[in-house]
Amino acid sequence: MIHCEGLVKIYKTDDLEVVALQGLNLTVNKGEMMAIIGNSGSGKSTLLNTLGGLDRPSAGQVTVGKWDLLKITDEQLVQYKRDTVGFIWQNNARNLLPYLTALENVEMPMMLSGKLDRAYARQLLEWVGLKERMHNKLHQLSGGEQQRVAMAISLSNRPELLLADEPTGSVDSRTSDMIMDIFRRLNQEIGITIVIVTHDLSLAGKVDRVVAIRDGLTSTEFIKRNPNLDQAAEEVSRGIGGLQSVHEEYVVVDRVGRLQIPKDYLGALNIKDKASMEFDGERIIITAPKSLEG
């Protein structure tokens, strides 16, 4: 569904140039539900904005389904954002029109694309648990209910890909669990591909695969060990060992053989700009360089 290779995004102003993505590689399969984690400034939101068609990539390759986002025209980009991708922001104000009811909010994207389907709009609100609240105005809904309206809106034009930027960042833990359960059910029942950006490791523990981004590059991946995702999520929510207890951690190797070693590993060995490496026939062993003096 998503393929990025050597993806670069540069933001330029008159006197400043910021390289937000520095050659990032990422593949997401159709029907997958995965999370992207990273510190502030790591490039995770830039990646999401690029996949959502909100930012144009600067260089490299990035395809979503049939669309090449590096070569897409402005007219095609409108079609891509309308038909292929749904987006959920942390800030409800970016998703919702306050003077409309929940149902009218869900119907609005359908009306703009000329495909009003009132029965489907109602079904979406039922899916997110708002059957009894669909005629309420936004000021009559809690923050969690508004976020669930936003989820229904993002699905209104039947997208193939759903992107969520910190979707549980402004709600309590109970509502967060409810939102993640809705994501999982939508993923399983309608097969939509879901990519969630989050800094919450307990939330990341509820998906099959987690990709960590550092300095604009993918650094490590966590693949779920436990085949029972519900049990794995419960372990994380109870604080049993965190992300590593549920997922196996892998260092990502790119096409030309480069890998990013976690900073805490390098720090523990006091490795800075050089390292010694040897191959013993079974393992690659990385150590701090021996002194060159004498």
For the chain, the structural domain boundaries read 2-84+159-260, 262-294
pLDDT for the residue 224: 66
Distance CA 286, CA 294 (A): 23
Give the three-class secondary structure for 133. Answer: coil
Q: How many CA atoms lie within 13 A of 5 on its CB side?
A: 7
More confident residue, 255 or 80: 80
Q: Report pLDDT digits (tens) over 2-31.
A: 999 989 999 888 788 888 888 888 999 999
More confident residue, 291 or 244: 291
The predicted model gives 159-173 an average pLDDT of: 86
Give the three-class secondary structure for 35. Answer: strand
* % of the chain exceeding 70 in pLDDT: 89
pLDDT above 90 (res 162): yes
CATH of domain 2-84+159-260: 3.40.50.300
pLDDT for the residue 289: 84
Q: Report pLDDT digits (tens) over 108-145.
A: 988 888 888 999 999 999 999 999 999 999 889 988 89
pLDDT above 70 (res 176): yes
pLDDT for the residue 271: 85
pLDDT above 90 (res 237): no
Q: What is the chain's mean pLDDT, rounded?
A: 83
Plot region of 291 (φ>0 → left; ψ -120 to 50 → alpha; else → beta): beta
Label residue 246 by pLDDT band (50, 70, 90): low
The secondary structure element, H or E, covering residue 16 is none
pLDDT for the residue 31: 93
